[in-house]
Amino acid sequence: MSNCTLCDLPTGDDPHTAPDVDGEFCCRGCLAVARSLDDVDDVDDLDERRPEARADEAFDGETTFLHVDGMHCATCESFLELTAGEQEGVAAAEASYATDTIRVDYDPDTVSAADLPERLSVAGYTASDRADPDPDGDDVAVVRFLIGGGLFGMMAMLWYVLFLYPTYFGYEPILDLGGVSGTYLFAQVWVFSSIVLFYTGYPILRGAYVSLRARQPNMDLLVSLAAASSYAYSTLAMLLGRTDLYFDVTIAVILVVTAGNHYESLIKRRATGMLSDLTTAGDRTVRTESGETVAAEAVDPGDRLLVRPGERVPFDGTVAEGTAAVDEALVTGESLPATKREGDEVRGGTVVTDAPVVVEVGEDATSTLDTLVRLLWEIQSSRSGIQRLVDKLATVFVPLVVAVAVLGAAATFALGSAPVDAALVGLTVLIVSCPCALGLATPLAIAAGIRDAARRGIVIVSDAVFEEAADIDTVVLDKTGTLTDGEMRLLDTVTDGASPDEVRRRAAAVERASVHPVAEAIVDAVAADGGSSARDDASAGPETATDGGVTAGDEGDGTRPADAPPDAADGTSTAAVTVSDRGVTGRVDGEEVVVGHRSLFAGAEWTVPASLDAAGETAREAGRVPVFVGWEGSVVGVLVVGDEVRDGWEAVVTDLADGGRRVVVLTGDSAAAARRFEEHPAVDETFAEVPPEAKAETVRRLAATERVAVVGDGSNDAPALAAADLGVSVASGTDLAADAADAVLLEDRLSAIPELFAVTRGTNRRLKQNLGWAFVYNAVAIPMAISGVLNPLLAALAMATSSVLVVTNSARPIYKEE
């Protein structure tokens, strides 16, 4: 048996092929994707970059994924990869600050997985198990800022205001700064400044060290140079008995930049806290065939597990006993439940809906859902976070500023100035280079974008969104749960010889005995129109029978007694209701009513009008479920059940297309269900019947030539969300999809998608405005510093003024600009 050329799944005994496409495929969806995208020029290069391919080719060991707290730029990635590579037993490592994840390939005979977090927790980074990230990182940052900055920083500034600043304006000092009192005062200021620099400023100093170690200058290095230079000069001047000390510059630089970063983190935490209602804890226990509860880790291939209605199938396997409708929407994207009988394969992570089944665990005792989680982590760890624009500029700006400072100081000294005066020129250049404005430009603009997005029910998970979304060329939309609501409902009633109300009423009367999603949709629709409660009546009566090997109840003979009380408020009664995998049969008002699949009416005793057969075929072609209803030997109606498109979807895809973006619909559902979207003029391409493993590959191939955003909701969408340049999850989706996304829409409102792009465009523009102002300021202030017009104090005041302008600009609303 061969594997699919696109997604590497087994193709089975009858693979899908086509004369115009090379390779063999597991399904029509993979074949369609390959036909459309196999002409991508650099797809071979993409294959070489796949993390799983690299691991398979280069390493034969084990792989673990760790969460790392403290990463905030591409330089952090390089440093951690370098650190991990130096550990004995580690073959390779790949980090992503965008997802706070590092993938480590290691030799378990040399180093254990339990030891890796401790070995990688260096230089202020904290590594932990991927499923249990460090909960204390934010608290430590708050304490560091409040104690180091708020307490000791303000104490030092108070001494400056009372004793030092008056002397700068010609006033006599209150204390004898040259005597013992002055020495005591300066010593206190030095201690307070040291705490601010080395405690509060530790993350900034660490970022500077990391940038030097990785040979990638960043803004932390520029901020550290200004703060540390002021501190070093002032310490030396204090020891030499001078009174022109600039510890206040050190404190101001550290506190302003730290405050900006802290504000950004605070806004992020508030926004991501809105996601708490979307996540649920996973259940790691399973139930054996005998009913005993055991840990999932104790299950071996071949074990038989009981899965009851409403529960997830824990592992991939085969139905050993029973028949049930299985909801595969969150794993495969298929909107309609699939009936599984003895011998049929089932995927781990799918949900049994209407009857218990016994599942025999497959050979590997793995779950398709777990496979998707691992694929998600593979992609996340290989997805390098976008280098912030300010850090890109820093790679040029930092060496340039240092060079100008050194040359300015050297030129001043060469022209006959004293060494101290020359050092002051260099220090002034470093201070006036505006590390505060540059350091604030990004966090404040991003915080404003996160704030405005949150007000519209959009949670920004990764701040890379603001620099990625502006360049998106193609938007890939999932169908089930995104363009549609993913919920079964009664959409239409077609009748022949009976009233629609009567057909619905009688169908609901017998469907109450079933918990199949399609049956529930019919019952709920009748209840909404004034009938009896959909589930209350079903739960009140005796159990019903199924034609599978496992009964729906623990007692009873599977039929309702003839003298059963009425089920519906209008007096409709049912008797001897029998449930099968293809429908339900029962007596209503003294007549036998059959509701279900067309095959139930294939016998000679049934008459099926051609108009109803045509209505059923039309429903199937539209990707919906036709439910036939008949009594007294005649089919009298067809109930059409399916999920409904979301309001405003046409306006959304049109808006995206009008913005110059290609719109692609990608779904695991049938081609018939996707046809309505394919026919819309704003949709450029539609891929249907694409399995979960192939969705990420499809996005990867699209991304070979264009920048791609993916909008989805299900666990099956998670790898595709992570593989995209921009992943967007909708609120009704799974926690796995939210974990993979860069942004989450908290409301089931598709119009939030264009709003997200509008906010990101505005934020990106605001960021460039902030940086533009900072660099214009530098272009004027640095020459003034070199010429001696500015001293360190005036440079600090100018720096503060520029920072205030950046703060004011960032405080303005962003979305109103769109």
Give the catalytic positions in this structure: 478
Question: Rounded to an integer, what distance in angstroms lies between the CA atom of residue 321 and that of residue 637?
Answer: 33
3-state secondary structure 384-423: CCCCCHHHHHHHHHHHHHHHHHHHHHHHHHHCCCCHHHHH
Q: What is the DSSP letter of 3?
A: B
Measured CA to CA in angstroms, residue 385 lies from 77, 123, 296, 725, 742 at distances of: 8, 20, 34, 10, 11
For the chain, how big is the Rg over CA atoms in Å?
A: 33
Q: How far is CA 139 from CA 123, 142, 385, in A?
A: 18, 5, 24
463 close to 446: Cβ distance less than 8 angstroms: yes
Cα separation, 237 vs 430, in Å, equals 17
Residue 590 falls in which region: left (phi positive, over 0), alpha (psi -120 to 50) or beta: left
The encoded tokens of residue 401 equal 């500023």
Whether the Cβ atoms of residue 237 and residue 230 lie closer than 8 Å to each other: no
**DSSP state, residue 245:** -
For 281-296, the DSSP string reads: PPP-EEEBTTS-EEEG
Among 670, 658, 731, 728, CA closest to 699: 728
Rounded-to-integer distance, Cα 501 and Cα 508, Å = 11
CB 664 within 8 A of CB 477: yes
SS (H, E, C) 307-336: ECCCCECCCCEEEEECCEEEECHHHHCCCC
Instruction: Provide the 3-class DSSP secondary structure of residue 179.
Output: coil
Angle between helices 752-787 and 389-414 in degrees, nearest 10: 0
Would you tell me the crossing angle of helices 247-272 and 180-195 to the nearest 10 degrees?
A: 30
507, 500 Cβ separation under 8 angstroms: no
